[in-house]
Structure 1
Amino acid sequence: MFRFNQVFLLVVFLFMFAFKNKQVVHAYNVALVEYLSDYKVFPYLNSLDLGNRNAKIYADIIKDIKNKNHSVDIVVFPEATLVSEPLNTEKGIEGMTFVPEPKEEIIPCDSSSEKFTSFFKLLSCTARKYQIYLVINLKEKDNCAGSDCLSRPLKFYNTDVVFDRNGKVIARYRKFNTYLEQDTDRPKQPELITFETDFGKTFGLFTCFDIIYKSPAIDLARSGISNFIFPTLWIPELPFLTTIQVQQMWAQGNDATLLAAGAADPRFGSGGLGIYLGRRGNVATLATPRTDNYYLVGEVPDNVDFNPTCSVDVNNKIAREMDQYTLYKEDLSKYAYKKIDIEESKTIKESLCQEQNDSKLCCNFQIEATVSESKQDYCERKYEYFLVVRSGMRTYGYKTYKNDIEVCGLIACAGDSIDDCAKRFPNYEDIAWPVTFNSIKIAADFPDTKERMQFPNSLLADFTPISPSCTTWKVEKNKGNSDLTHTFSTNVPVTKLLTYGIFGRNYALDVKKNETTANTSTA
């Protein structure tokens, strides 16, 4: 049981003035909030009362942000923290609100309509009071008509809403790729939603599980949008899909700016925030799940010459804190794999392949590593390392969803079997890390098609990825055929490594649920 007698705020101020020779033009300031999803803490509240309670806390957080950081332009709250009550119940529907279309140019703060809940109006007023762009996620209801509405007169959506500095609704995005959201509907087609700001940036919107799919996220990026807002309640999974790991890989792969705000749920190790500048690097990330609310404030520079200092140092305090969380583990039984024997100053060159139907994925690994005998003798608990390759279908969410992945990876394993991979030793303090990877280079060829996308993927012991400024990600035309060669290389020695690889998706082979299933449960 988590207590909310007061709001605990951890503020991280990040200013880029250290880059004296890098002039920042048209920069803007953002605040990202990690908020604890809490409806089970207050079972006596109906969803409307819960929404009112959380909206007041949202407003208090915004007040604190603006009091300490007058120049903040945009505040982003995570997914599923304003109203989390299960839908399609009387208690649940009470806390859902109608959301106007942006073209109506409605300011809920000024509206007397009963279509809008009191907490929705409060947040509109808060955006105007503090002169900010405000991004929230809520449960939306909308009238339903037609043959697909026989079971109920309303549709329910997981919706992102953006208020401008006057409290006007300027964007509404209804999540398309829902995840284990009982009775949540989705649009018949993905919506490519953007909004413009007075500081010269146009943002695209997508939510949580959308990040795994082509539309709307990849389609927005390929349309020329380079700035994105990503509310999420992410359930992390080893070895390739933990929270900050996924956020950075998407930003780096698309060379896009991503503002990610994650909901906290310590039961699953959920939580995490990040300001990512694509292949230039990150302004800041925070990965540790918490049992209170906190926010991160950062300045987003606009100049393309921004280059943060490369660092692969692991935060041991955060790594120790992660001991208390049990994370999900991907089933690796269908991967091709090979355990590698890392000896002093040995260069490892391996090619590992896996076939799927008429296609074949071959991953080429080149690794230079050294082993410190003193560290190795310090403790018997140390990770082994496996090379892994996967080209084929995988499932998510208790086998509810299937999609096609194409993966090349070097991963840490808590034993000599593939079943030990993506598992962690229980006590970080008892782990020895004798292996230093002086260099890692992974390369693979993929067909040049818009139905595929590949991402650089990495993870250190403190559950942060390796900064893009410490790696090189190249995509080049293959001289021998029409494929694209993707290469992911380290630029500096790395220790305490959990994952390093290429995470790819073949969207054309995704298994899609039919419309009826999608509209009555999840998609």
Structure 2
Amino acid sequence: MLPSQPLLHTAVFALTVLQALASNTFIAAVYEHAVILPKAAIKPVSPDDALALMNSNMDILEGAIKEAAQQGAHIIVTPEDGIYGWRFTRETIYPYLEDIPDPVVNWIPCTDPTRFAPAPVQERLSCMARNNSIYVVANIGDKKPCNSSDPSCPKDGRYQYNTDVVFDPEGKLVARYHKYNLFIPETQFNYPKEPEAITFETPFGKFGIFTCFDILFHEPAVVLVNKLQVDTVLFPTAWMNVLPFLTAVEFHSAWAMGMGVNFLAANTHHTSISMTGSGIYAPDGARAYYYNMKNEDGRLLVAELDSHPRLSAAFPPAVSWSSYALNVERFSLNDNDFGGLIFHDWFTFTELTMPEGNRTVCQKDLCCHLSYKMSEKREDEVYVLGAFDGLHVVEGQYYLQICTLLKCKSTDPETCGHPVETAQTKFETFSLSGTFGTNYVFPEVLYSGVQLATGEFEVLSDGRLKSKHGTSKPLITATLFGRLYEKDLPHPLRNVSIP
């Protein structure tokens, strides 16, 4: 006699848990999704039309989830805005929203869909997780009614939140996160009154979750890692790439390394607005990543990670980011220092005029030191050492200290800092350090073609970013990206631009 479906599912789930418990590693998946977008609408569509669009996207996500499960994945992350897109006003997004309960209610929407208000999206996501015995992470919209007894209640009588949800392999809702740091165009959403630090336990470590723009701020991102000690961060995102420091694969891999956690980043794919770049990152580098500006294809990534990276032999040593730079004599200062903009920030640059040498450049409290040797000094390519110490004020406000070895777009110094995707110059060695006033520094090395330099550089305990054996590909940038959170403006003022 064959077991009943519920008994069979329970047996499969128990086996999955036992397998995870028996291993110090787990299989992670992320899916970069080319989202089917709604047509531009002045008035809200009907609930049926909204659900039809969301089901079209979920059809694709379900295929990716099935494939990931077949490859042995224990968890899969899908992108921010991955179910309905982003072309909305506050009114036009309303038909796409559901009331998402607090996970303490112990709810499996797949088996009990009518327990709360109609929630067809949560029901379907829950069934995807349950039918494939896999954790499913998705981004949807939450609506919460309010009234005049709440002085903060919006005029339309409801809060609307950009929301991440997590369903476990039984289909149970185990996590709900409301995005705190909304990006400037997200006027359709509210932010929660207090930042939420959301974690949940799995058989393969402690997980935390936040969304896109959150990564640039202290709460909740740093709190999850430093205070709550999560092993792995889940990161649905709709990330628009900005060279040279803020491409998705570059910055997300650097954040994982700087914070010492696993990081599962699932991006939307929309090349017309520079959206691409997903990855599975460990503290010692990328396990898998995808960056493609040439077509509109989605991509599933699957890779193995340590369940508890802090216990791994490969876990990077603690870094005192300013130790070397504060104790080394300044290399020769150049009288020909000049200024230039990188993503609206005014850097101080000095040109690397010789095939090898030592350089120092300073701005305010930050001095950046570089020792380097090029494989060949090309006449048609210019590299500079740059420093920035100040408040970034465009597309959000946050305080930065950055040291960068950077290729200029042309031989004209005025192009230094302009976006560059290709290069021809390789380096035999480089060593970059800075007098940072923060312990939150994220090391980036990006090669020609927007490729990561996984395994080809290291960060020493004294704060030096060094090449191990030279660069195997031409270099776009080697950067130490520092964040001084204590100099940020209060939330939500930091989430706006200064004209």
| Band of TM-score, shorter chain | 0.7 to 0.9
The answer to whether the Cα contact below 8 Å between 1:156 and 1:184 also exists between their aligned partners in 2 is yes
Q: How many residues align?
A: 436
Residues in 2 aligned to 1:41 and 1:342: alpha-carbon distance in whole angstroms? 55
The answer to whether the Cα contact below 8 Å between 2:244 and 2:419 also exists between their aligned partners in 1 is no
State yes or no: 1:439 paired with 2:429.
yes
What do the CA deviations read for 1:77-120 (whole angstroms, capped 9, x no partner)? 01111022545555421111111101111112212156243122
What CA RMSD, in Å, does the superposition of the two structures yield over aligned residues?
A: 2.6
Match 1:488 to one of 465, 470, 475? 465
Equivalent in the alignment of 1:504: 482
Equivalent in the alignment of 2:14: none
Map 1:259-274 to 2 at 5 A: 259-274=264-279
Residues in 2 aligned to 1:51 and 1:274: alpha-carbon distance in whole angstroms? 24
Match 1:140 to one of 118, 139, 142? 142
Equivalent in the alignment of 1:17: none
Call closer, same or farther: CA 1:353–1:371 in 2, change over 3 Å.
same
Equivalent in the alignment of 1:250: 255
Shift of 1:362: 0.8
Match 1:208 to one of 189, 205, 212? 212
Equivalent in the alignment of 1:474: 460
Residues in 2 aligned to 1:425 and 1:455: alpha-carbon distance in whole angstroms? 20
**SS state of the match for residue 177, structure 1?**
coil
What letter matches 1:349 in structure 2? N
Residues in 1 aligned to 2:458 and 2:190: alpha-carbon distance in whole angstroms? 40
Match 2:343 to one of 331, 335, 338? 331
Map 1:453-472 to 2 at 5 A: 453-467=440-454, 469-472=455-458
Shift of 1:333: 5.8
Map 1:134-283 to 2 at 5 A: 134-145=136-147, 146-179=150-183, 180-197=185-202, 199-223=203-227, 224-279=229-284, 281-283=285-287
What do the CA deviations read for 1:361-397 (whole angstroms, capped 9, x no partner)? 111111122316xxx5xxx8x4310111000011332
The answer to whether the Cα contact below 8 Å between 2:358 and 2:370 also exists between their aligned partners in 1 is yes
Residues in 2 aligned to 1:204 and 1:42: alpha-carbon distance in whole angstroms? 34
Equivalent in the alignment of 1:59: 62
**SS state of the match for residue 383, structure 1?**
coil
**SS state of the match for residue 397, structure 2?**
strand
State yes or no: 1:341 paired with 2:353.
yes
Equivalent in the alignment of 1:36: 34
Equivalent in the alignment of 1:126: 128
What do the CA deviations read for 1:387-413 (whole angstroms, capped 9, x no partner)? 11000011332xxx2111000001111
**SS state of the match for residue 245, structure 1?**
helix
Call closer, same or farther: CA 1:84–1:144 in 2, change over 3 Å.
farther
Call closer, same or farther: CA 1:40–1:164 in 2, change over 3 Å.
same
- Higher relative CO (CA 8 A, sep ≥ 6), structure 1 or 2? 1
TM-score (norm 2): 0.81
The answer to whether the Cα contact below 8 Å between 1:458 and 1:466 also exists between their aligned partners in 2 is yes
The answer to whether the Cα contact below 8 Å between 2:30 and 2:264 also exists between their aligned partners in 1 is yes
The answer to whether the Cα contact below 8 Å between 1:49 and 1:95 also exists between their aligned partners in 2 is no
Residues in 1 aligned to 2:130 and 2:257: alpha-carbon distance in whole angstroms? 34
What letter matches 1:420 in structure 2? T
State yes or no: 1:403 paired with 2:415.
no
Percent identity between matched residues is 27
**SS state of the match for residue 457, structure 1?**
strand
Equivalent in the alignment of 2:324: none
Unaligned runs of 5+ in 2: 1-21, 316-340
State yes or no: 1:76 paired with 2:77.
yes
**SS state of the match for residue 335, structure 1?**
strand
Residues in 2 aligned to 1:268 and 1:89: alpha-carbon distance in whole angstroms? 22
Residues in 2 aligned to 1:85 and 1:233: alpha-carbon distance in whole angstroms? 9
Shift of 1:416: 3.6
Equivalent in the alignment of 1:47: 50
